[in-house]
Amino acid sequence: MNQMQSLLIIGFVWPEPNSSAAGGRMMQLISLFQKQGFQVIFASPAQNSNFMVDLSEFDVQKESIELNNSSFDDFIKELNPKIVLFDRFMIEEQFGWRVAENCPDALRVLDTEDLHCLRLARQKAFKEKREFQISDLLAEEVAKREIASILRCDLSLMISEYEIELLINVFKIDKALLYYLPLLLNPEAIPDLNLLPDFETRKDFVFIGNFLHEPNWNAVQYLKETIWPIIKKQLPDAVLNVYGAYPSQKVLQLNNVKEGFLIQGRAQNANEVVEKARIVLAPLRFGAGIKGKLLEAMQCGTPSVTTAIGAESMQGNLPWNGFVEDNPELFADKAIQLYQHKEIWLQAQDNGIEIIKQRYLRKLFEGDFATQIQFLLSNIKQHRLNNFMGELLQHHTLKSTKYMSRWIEEKNKKSVS
C-alpha cells in the first residue's frame, strides 16, 4: 500500500478491550479505518501491560514513542501519515504541535472517549454534595485544555449526543468540528434469545466495571452502603457479584459473604459473567460518555437498573433495558421488581435488543463516517480557514508548548549526562 495512505494512532495507553469500553472502542476505530483502506500504525508512550491486545494479530504496526523527545519528529516525518488520530485530549496536547509542525497536511482527528471536563465537574459537584450546574463546566480547569484541544483538531469523535449539545451550546463549538460516532456493534452482537440462558436459569445480580475509573469505584461503594442492603432484605438468597479490572485493596476489603456482596476481581470472560446474571446494577452518580457495561448487558440479554447519568445519551427515544432511577430506594425497588417478575424482565430484554438495532449497529455509521473522512481530506484547507479559532490556538500552542517541551527535553539530556 502507498505509504501516504497510512493512519497513525497515538494512544494514551495500549488497547485493552477486555479491561474497559475505551479499549474496545479503539479496536472498533482501527477496524473502521482499515475498511477505508488505511494501513494503521499504533504508537504510544505507555508501558506495555499484561492485558494489552496483540496488535500484530489485527494487522496493526506497533511503535513505542517518548514524551518530550524530538525523536518523534523524525518518526512522523518519515511515516508522513495521511491522518493522525489522538486518543484523548492529553495526547493531542503532547503530540499535536509536533504533528502540525512536521506533517501540516495530515488530518488531525481527536477521539474524546468522553468529555473529561464534564466527568470531573460532575464529580466535584457530587463530592461537594450539591447539584451539578452548567457553570461548573465553565469553571472546570480541564475544560480550558480540552476545548482548546477540540478546536485545534480538524474533527473530534464524540460518543454522546448530550456532550455534542454541550459543546455547541455552552462552548460555542462549530458542529462541523464534531462527529457523532458511538460504540459500534456488528450484527452478530444482536443476541439470539434462544441461545441465551432464560429467566429461570439466571440468578443473582452483577456489577462490572474497571476500578481505575472513579465513577465505578464510587458506584460500588454506593451499592455496598445504601442500595444492596435494601435489596438483600427483600431477597435474602440473592448475591451481588462485583467484577472489574484493577481492584485495589480498598475494593477487595468490601467482600462480605454473609451480606452476599462478593468482590470477584477481573472477569476472565465478561459476557459469560453478565449472561449468567439476572440483572446488571449500575448506580453511577457521576461520569460522562456512554457506558460500555450497559451496552454489554443488552448484548447479553441482561436487563439493567441504572441512573440518569448511567443511561445518558444511550437509548434516544426508546424505552430502557430495565429501569432508570436516581433515588436509592426506588432504584432498589425496581431491581427487586425486575428480579421477581418474568414479564417485566422479558419486556426489558426486548427493549435492549431494540436499542442495539436502532442505535449501535456499525452499518448505521460506517458509510457516512468514511464519506466524512474523505470530504475532510479533500477540503482540509477550506475546513481550517473556517476554523479560525482553531488556527489561532494552533499558532499560540505551537509556540508555548514547543518551547516548554524543548526545555524539558534539554533538561532530560542534562540529567542523563
- pLDDT the model gives residue 88: 96
Mean pLDDT of the chain: 95
Band of pLDDT at residue 408, cut at 50, 70 and 90 = confident
Give the up-direction half-sphere exposure of residue 95: CA atoms within 13 A in the CB hemisphere. Answer: 31
**SS3 label, residue 344:** helix
- pLDDT the model gives residue 134: 94
- Judge if 3-184+365-416 and 187-361 fold alike in CATH terms: yes
> Which residue ranges make up each domain of the chain?
3-184+365-416, 187-361
Average pLDDT in the 95-114 region? Answer: 96
Residue 40 bridge partners (DSSP): 7
Joined grid coordinates for residue 255: 467482600
What angle is formed at CA 137 by the lines to CA 134 and CA 141, rounded to 5 degrees?
160
Cβ atoms of 191 and 301 within 8 Å: the answer is: yes
- The DSSP secondary structure of 67-104, one letter per residue, reads TT-THHHHHHHHH--SEEEEESHHHHHHHHHHHHHH-T
Backbone φ and ψ for 140, nearest 5 degrees, come out as -70, 125
Percent of the chain residues past pLDDT 90, beyond the cut: 91
Joined grid coordinates for residue 205: 445480580
- pLDDT the model gives residue 417: 62
Instruction: Find out if CATH 3.40.50.2000 is the number for domain 187-361.
Output: yes
Cβ atoms of 306 and 312 within 8 Å: the answer is: no
Cβ atoms of 303 and 321 within 8 Å: the answer is: yes
Report the C-alpha gap between 261 and 255 in whole angstroms.
Answer: 6
CATH for 3-184+365-416?
3.40.50.2000
Report the C-alpha gap between 192 and 195 in whole angstroms.
Answer: 6
* Alpha helices per DSSP H over 108-207: 116-127, 134-139, 141-152, 161-169
Residue 405 has pLDDT above 80, yes or no: no
